[in-house]
Amino acid sequence: MITQSIPRVILVPLMMLGTTAAMADPDHDELPGLGQVGDDSHIDQVIEVDMGEMYFCPDNFAFERGETVKFVLVNSGRMVHEFAIGTEETQNVHEQEMNVMSREGMMTTRVLRHDRMLASGMMHVDENARLLAPDETAELIWTFSGEQDELIIACNVPGHRAAGMEGVVTIGADHPS
Ligand SMILES: [Cu+2]
């Protein structure tokens, strides 16, 4: 687990890095029910998602099971925003981590402090999420191969999901392979 995580931290540009404290959590990489990181040579559709205060546009997605989607994420807002794919449970865990980051000064409403995240060990690649500063763009390629029929897209920056920054993913019949 550790040997896998360390190279990812080094290879991925800072703006692509997700943020959780779960590096030591043995269950973290399993992402039960969510699916998996997609192969960029086999993308079924590309969807641009505009993120701002306090919305995702679009915020309602329907995919076939096994479909690979490239999300092009654009933070056109004035605040830091996150795009995280998860279930109610994983989003709640992630929100608690984000609360800690906010409290500890690793991020403000408008700025990501990558140096402080690094220093506290709270920065590594979160495969199913991207955290974007204002005007940042990122990509997330995901294969919706998990068992869940419905997933949640959420921004777990403190207060944002409660203010409406969430979306729904419905997963239907199997995608023809
Ligand atoms: Cu947000």
Q: What is the pLDDT of residues 80-98, one digit of tens each?
A: 999 999 999 999 999 999 9
For residues 165 and 54, the answer to whether their CB atoms sit within 8 Å is yes
Looking at the chain, which runs of residues are DSSP E strands?
36-37, 45-52, 55-57, 60-65, 68-75, 81-86, 129-132, 137-143, 150-154, 166-174
CA gap 63, 29 in Å, rounded:
23
The tally of domains found in the chain comes to 1
**Among 102, 126, 106, which residue's Cα sits nearest to residue 118?**
106
92 C-alpha to center of ligand 1: Å?
15
Stretch among 63-67, 111-115, 129-133, 139-143 having the lowest mean pLDDT:
111-115
CA gap 16, 131 in Å, rounded:
7
77 C-alpha to center of ligand 1: Å?
9
Taking residues 24-28, report their average pLDDT: 42
Domain containing residue 45 = 2-174
The chain-wide mean pLDDT, for the chain, equals 84
pLDDT beyond 80 at 71: yes
Q: Whole-model pTM?
A: 0.81
What is the CATH number for 96? 2.60.40.420
pLDDT of residue 13: 38
147-160 pLDDT tens trace: 999 999 999 999 99
pLDDT of residue 9: 38
28 C-alpha to center of ligand 1: Å?
22
| Higher-pLDDT residue of 2, 126 | 126
7 C-alpha to center of ligand 1: Å?
28
Q: Does residue 3 sit in helix, strand or coil? A: helix
101 C-alpha to center of ligand 1: Å?
14
- Band (pLDDT 50/70/90 cuts) for residue 16 is very low
161 C-alpha to center of ligand 1: Å?
7
- Band (pLDDT 50/70/90 cuts) for residue 28 is very low
Q: Does residue 132 sit in helix, strand or coil? A: strand
Taking residues 64-69, report their average pLDDT: 97
Compute the C-alpha angle 123/128/129, nearest 5°. Answer: 55
